[in-house]
DNA sequence: ACCTGTTATGCAAAGGTTTGCACAAATATT
DNA sequence: AATATTTGTGCAAACCTTTGCATAACAGGT
């Protein structure tokens, strides 16, 4: 039915091998035949069958992604679409397509990865969501199959990962607030079992201690990414007699929630309290006051991930490495020096 | 290197054909051999080579998606991640993976689609972003290649598309506002060349006329999805002497921007003016007041898209159809009856 | 005219499955 | 007991490429 390389060969009066070599720009093919063959390809509307090609070259020019499950922390809308965009765009520009799969349960997810890898469907894999002691990781590592991990870099030393330095980012923010004159600085984290929560907290701690400021337990809150949680925390904040003059939150949503709830309690941001967010979502820019936040370079993370993965696949002089994407502090209206008191 | 079907066959003492039939649960295989073969497969850690299989069956169990370009309207974060999630989840549950590609330019995009189709890499295609007179559409249609269009349903009658009924949704909202007693109702659209803008406007118009209310040109605004645009429109709104008592916006972002800007001008929502959004993004729920909006069922659109596509691929009794996903009005704090005046 | 060295092309095997058809064995029918 | 039917398995071709090796053609040097 479909036009194959043999049809082209026949019509051009050459052998299939020659056509194949024309396609791959083999240097040994003469100008003349090359032109002739290309013309026929055009006429016949020939397109190589990728499957057959992959079968013999053992290479698919596909990279696989396992979609995080909805419950997963990584499925924060903003993060997800940005990183996918980074991945697909970079992949496309390198001649790769992206094969996405998912599993309803952790077990099915492992099955899916196995199928991708063993079925020779992809040349490499991006692990977007990963747990501690991830079965996927040990599997891929054992198979020596090229893969790159996004996030969680410090849990594994011998595999390639792309991450941002959450410790450094939180440290910079905290330092900046201190330099502005803040001494009572609150911290609102997400669930502490998330690495990002922990890391950002560590950065906060580090900056405080370095400045000779003691960590106050009652300035540290553990929340979830819901408005309710934010409201609850804000209520507690308001009740404090030695209320912080600035609050660092681990996500723009939290920052937004806190700002709103403080406001409900008659406190203004930034006049009465500065608030900083994280992740530079559109929310941060959209609301009033515009929220100071950290751009963690999600799009670029996607790009770098693919770049590393492709190097890994190609294998030329590739070494495992932790790749750290630079963050950028974005100062907006929600922060100012504390009132003199 | 890798273990193939012949290895399994040899070790199990049967022919490759038999192993193949065991895998596909062919009814003619006896219980005994089936068990024996499965055991060997397990022992050897055999996984079928998908490529080889696809080559002969001419079926890949992949569906293709062309990622919209960043500039594209469809790449609104919320919409994008939700629909992708719907698509990938449904696909996975039907045994399909999703192959994503993209093109930096429209021309490259067409190339990418051609490659996917002609290279026999996917069994069907989801067109997420489409323009009027889309080259991809005519190409796929001509090739008789299974595909489903998301959105833009009314531009084409003979192809399958999944969409929500924007006219009906806007109509319902408007009607509801009228029933609450509103007579002066504003409408804030996105760029009018977008079909969604036009459709939602039509629904608005229909409801008004039906209620015997004339369309007032100065109540209709054309904006973009930026806070600035919203602010600009709000300024105009405030200046009107016969200011609307309610405003319908075409997107939650716009609603949010309008609410904020009205507020800056000393007007309260919903006390001084009701505001309705669209798309039920997390923003609508998060801000104060919580915004009444329309859930257009994006996740479900993704699911239905895949379902239709797979039916199309399987081809059993399939007919082209426009599939309309039900919307749901979500009433929250930003709406109330108008002040008696 | 002969040999050497390039340069351009073809042959055939390999890659791992599926599947129509033929066949052998086992069971049922008379 | 002989034949018909069912059941289970194997053979070999087909799917479409790529690529190592062999070979043909041709040029240049003597």
- B31-47 confidence digits (pLDDT tens): 888 999 999 999 999 99
A31-65 pLDDT tens trace = 888 898 999 999 999 999 999 999 999 999 999 99
CB contact under 8 A, A260 and B287: yes
Q: Which residue has the higher pLDDT, B74 or B250?
A: B250
> What is the fold of A62-164+299-326?
Rossmann fold (3.40.50)
Q: Which residues of B touch A290 (CB under 8 A)?
A: none
| Cα(B18)–Cα(B24) distance, integer angstroms | 10
Domain B1-41 architecture? Orthogonal Bundle (1.10)
B62 within 8 A of B96, measured Cβ to Cβ:
yes
Pair of tokens at residue A297: 């370079």
Tokens for A35, please give them: 């032109």
Per-residue pLDDT tens digits for B280-322: 988 888 888 899 999 999 999 999 999 999 999 998 667 778 8
Which of B130, B126, B170 has its CA nearest to residue B154? B130
* The two three-digit tokens of residue A31, written as one number: 């100008």
d(C-alpha A26, C-alpha A41), whole Å: 16
CA end-to-end span of chain B: 84
- Assess whether B5 (CB) lies less than 7 A from strand C: yes
Taking residue A266's Cβ as centre, other Cβ atoms within 10 Å add up to 8
Q: Which nucleotide comes closest to B54 if you measure CA to C1'?
A: C17
The answer to whether A260 faces chain B, any CB pair under 8 Å, is yes
Contact B286 A84 (CB under 8 A): no
Q: How many CB atoms lie within 10 A of CB B95?
A: 8
Instruction: Please list the residues that pair with A292 across neighbouring strands.
Output: A276
Average pLDDT of the residues of chain A: 89
Look up residue B93 and give its two tokens. 């549950």
Nearest to B286, CA basis, from A292, A284, A256, A269: A256
List, for residues B22-33, the tens digit of each pLDDT value.
999 988 888 888
pLDDT tier for residue B340 given thresholds of 50, 70 and 90: low
Instruction: Identify which of A131-145, A274-288, B163-177, B220-234 has the greatest average pLDDT.
Output: B163-177
Q: How far is the CA of A89 from the CAs of A50, A80, A93, A333, in angstroms? A: 21, 14, 6, 33
- The tokens of B46 are what? 């055999």
Of A22-36, A269-283, B289-303, the range with the lowest mean pLDDT is: A22-36
pLDDT at A26: 85
Q: Does A286 contact B283 at a Cβ distance shorter than 8 Å?
A: yes
Residue B231: pLDDT band (50, 70, 90) is confident
Listed range (A70-79, B14-23, B255-264) with the worst mean pLDDT: A70-79
pLDDT at A272 over 90: yes
pLDDT at A191 over 90: no
Enumerate the residues of chain B whose CB falls inside 8 A of the CB of residue A115: 47, 50
pLDDT of residue B73: 56
| Residue A114 pLDDT exceeds 70 | yes
Task: Round to whole Å and give the CA distance between B278 and B187.
Answer: 12
What are the chain B neighbours of A77 within 8 Å (beta carbons)? 77-78, 81-82, 282
pLDDT of residue B336 exceeding 90, the answer is yes
pLDDT of residue B219: 96
Neighbours of B158 (CB within 10 A): 6
> DSSP per residue over B120-163, as a string?
T--SEEEE-S--TT-HHHHHHHHHT--EEEES-GGG-SSS-EEE
Question: What is the predicted pLDDT for the residue at A320?
Answer: 74
Which one of B119, B128, B139, B253 makes the best mutation probe of the A interface by having the most chain A beta carbons within 10 Å?
A: B119
Mean pLDDT of the A107-116 span: 90
DSSP type of residue A163: E
Q: Give me the mean pLDDT over the B139-151 stretch.
A: 90
Identical topology for domains A62-164+299-326 and A166-296: yes
**Burial of B176 from C-beta contacts in 10 A (0-12 / 13-18 / 19+):** middle
DSSP string, B298-334: HHHHHHHHHHHHHHHHH-TT----EEEEPPEEE--TT
B30 CB below 7 A from strand C atoms? no
**Chain C bases having any atom below 7 Å from a protein CB:** 7-12, 14-20
pLDDT of A221 reads: 95
Q: Does A289 touch chain B (CB under 8 A)?
A: no
Predicted pLDDT of residue A275: 96
The CA distance from B234 to B142, in Å, is 48
**Mean pLDDT in residue range B180-184:** 96
Contact B102 A92 (CB under 8 A): yes
- Span between the terminal Cα atoms of chain A, in Å: 84
Q: What is the pLDDT of residues A230-261, one digit of tens each?
A: 889 999 999 998 999 999 999 898 899 899 88
User: Which DSSP string do the residues of A19-54 spell out, in sequence order?
Assistant: HHHHHTT-TTS-HHHHHHHHHHHHHHT----HHHHH
Question: DSSP letters along A61-97, please?
Answer: SEEEEEPPPTTSGGG-HHHHHHHHHHHHHHHHHTT-E
The per-residue pLDDT for A227 is 75
A32 CA → D27 C1’, Å: 18
Banded model confidence at residue A80, pLDDT cuts 50, 70, 90? confident
B118 CB inside 7 Å of strand C: no
Residues in chain B: 341
Q: Determine the residue of chain B that is closest to A228 in CA distance.
A: B286
Q: Is A264 (CB) below 7 Å from strand C?
A: no
Q: How far is the CA of A169 from the C1' of D14 (A)?
A: 59
* Protein CA A60 to sugar C1' C9 (Å): 28
Q: Which one has a higher pLDDT value, B56 or B2?
A: B56
Cα separation, B246 vs A255, whole angstroms? 30
Test A48 with B119 for CB contact under 8 angstroms: yes
Q: Is B59 helix (H, G, I), strand (E, B) or coil?
A: coil
Burial class (CB in 10 A: 0-12, 13-18, 19+), A250: buried
Quote the CA–CA distance of B223 and B230 in Å, as a whole number.
7
* Predicted confidence (pLDDT) at residue A317 exceeds the cutoff of 70: no
pLDDT tens by residue, B95-143:
999 999 998 888 888 889 999 999 989 999 999 877 777 888 989 998 8
CATH code of B63-164+299-326, in short, is: 3.40.50.2300
Domain borders along chain A are 62-164+299-326, 166-296
Q: How confident is the model at residue B74 (pLDDT cuts 50, 70, 90)?
A: low
C-alpha dist (Å) from residue A205 to A124, A166, A171, A209: 38, 12, 8, 6
* pLDDT band at residue A340 under the 50/70/90 scheme: low
CB within 8 Å: B104 and A92: yes
- Interface A-B, measured as beta-carbon pairs within 8 A, has a size of 146
Q: Is the pLDDT of residue B223 over 70?
A: yes
Mutate to test the interface with B, among A2, A3, A86, A102 (most CBs of B within 10 A): A102
A211 burial class (0-12, 13-18, 19+ CB within 10 angstroms)? Answer: middle
pLDDT of residue A1: 64
Report pLDDT for B157: 78
Which residue is closest to C6 in terms of CA–C1' distance?
A28
Residues 220-259 of B with CB under 8 A from A: 227, 253, 256-257
- Predicted local confidence at residue B155, as pLDDT: 72
pLDDT cut 90: percent of chain B above it: 59
Rounded-to-integer distance, Cα B299 and Cα A67, Å: 15
Q: What is the pLDDT of residue A32?
A: 85
Tell me whether residue A315 is exposed, middle or buried, using C-beta atoms within 10 angstroms of its C-beta: 0 to 12, 13 to 18, 19 or more: exposed
Cα–Cα distance list, B199 to B43, B189, B196 (Å): 60, 10, 5
Put simply, whether A284 touches B (Cβ < 8 Å) is: no
Residue A131 has pLDDT above 80, yes or no: no
- The percentage of residues in chain B with a pLDDT greater than 70, rounded to a whole number, is 95
What phi and psi, each to the nearest 5 degrees, are found at residue B179? -60, -30
Through-space separation of residue A75 CA and nucleotide C29 C1' in angstroms? 66
pLDDT score of B317: 65
Picking from A61, A118, A264 by the largest number of B CB atoms within 10 A of its own CB, the best residue to mutate is A118
Contact B99 A99 (CB under 8 A): yes
**Which residue, B320, B18, B332, is CA-closest to B148?**
B320
Q: Is 70 exceeded by the pLDDT of residue A72?
A: no
Mean local confidence (pLDDT), B76-102: 89
In this predicted structure, the answer to whether residue A73 has a pLDDT above a threshold of 60 is no
Highest CATH level, class, for A166-296: alpha beta
């Amino acid at each position: 039915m479909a036009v194959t390389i043999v049809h082209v060969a026949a019509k051009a009066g050459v052998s299939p091998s020659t056509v194949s070599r024309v396609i791959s720009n083999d240097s040994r093919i003469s100008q003349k035949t090359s032109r002739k063959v290309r013309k026929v390809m055009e006429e016949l509307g020939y397109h190589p069958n990728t499957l057959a090609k992959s079968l013999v070259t053992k290479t698919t020019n596909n990279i696989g992604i396992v979609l995080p499950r909805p419950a997963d922390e990584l499925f924060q809308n903003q993060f997800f679409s940005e990183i996918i965009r980074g991945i697909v765009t970079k992949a496309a520009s390198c001649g790769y397509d992206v094969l996405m799969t998912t599993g309803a349960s952790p077990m099915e997810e492992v099955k899916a990865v196995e199928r991708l890898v063993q079925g020779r469907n992809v040349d490499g894999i991006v692990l977007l969501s990963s747990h501690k002691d991830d079965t996927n990781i040990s599997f891929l590592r054992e198979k020596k199959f090229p893969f790159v991990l996004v996030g969680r870099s410090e849990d594994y030393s011998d595999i390639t990962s792309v991450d941002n330095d959450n410790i450094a980012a939180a440290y910079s923010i905290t330092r900046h607030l201190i330099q502005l004159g803040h001494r009572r600085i609150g911290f609102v984290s997400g669930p502490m079992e998330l690495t990002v929560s922990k890391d950002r907290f560590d950065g906060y701690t580090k900056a405080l201690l370095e400045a000779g400021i003691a960590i106050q337990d009652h300035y540290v809150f553990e929340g979830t990414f819901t408005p309710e949680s934010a409201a609850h925390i804000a209520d507690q904040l308001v009740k404090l007699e030695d209320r912080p003059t600035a609050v660092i939150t681990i996500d723009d949503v939290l920052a937004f929630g806190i700002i709103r709830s403080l406001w409900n309690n008659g406190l203004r941001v930034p006049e009465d309290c500065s608030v900083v967010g994280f992740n530079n979502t559109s929310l941060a820019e959209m609301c009033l006051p515009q929220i100071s936040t950290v751009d963690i370079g999600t799009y670029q993370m996607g790009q770098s991930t693919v770049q590393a993965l492709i190097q890994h696949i190609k294998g030329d002089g590739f070494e495992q490495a932790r790749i750290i994407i630079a963050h950028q502090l974005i100062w907006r209206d929600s922060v100012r020096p504390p009132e003199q008191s």
